Structure 1
Amino acid sequence: MRYAHGGGLTPKEQEKREQEKREQVRLAAAERFACGEKTEAISRELRVTARSVR
């Protein structure tokens, strides 16, 4: 039984979960950016850099 940071997931499973999380953040940022929200507000709320939002 493993209780590492990934909760017992294999490295591939962990990477896939992290990739899915990043994709959700990207989609949320893109949607909000398209609606005209300011880059700084989006980046602050999603906890990413302003450059990532742009």
Structure 2
Amino acid sequence: MVRFEGGEKNREIAAALRVSERSVERWRRQWRERGESGVASKGSPGRPRLSEAQVARLEKELERGPLVHGWEDQRWTLARVKTLVGRLFHVTYTVEGT
């Protein structure tokens, strides 16, 4: 928004952010039409989200420990949490997204 307000050209913004000029054109149009809310990030559209109820259930399952869920020790790793989420809710995350 600061760049738009400062009058920077789409080409300059695109180069600085390493995105296409077309993306900047779209952002600028959304900014003009809806202001800050028009360009606010809505997060990754491809990443499934757990509901509050699912998060509560996951917390309870994590408290029970990895042994209960078939692992040989009591260490929770991101890979194990990712696997547990998949087993419980049939939702796939990357390890980094977990």
- Higher-Rg structure is 2
Q: Give the TM-score range, shorter chain.
A: 0.3 to 0.5
Please report the TM-score for the alignment, with normalisation by the length of structure 1: 0.39
Task: Provide the TM-score with structure 2 as the length reference.
Answer: 0.25
Structure with the largest fraction of helix: 1
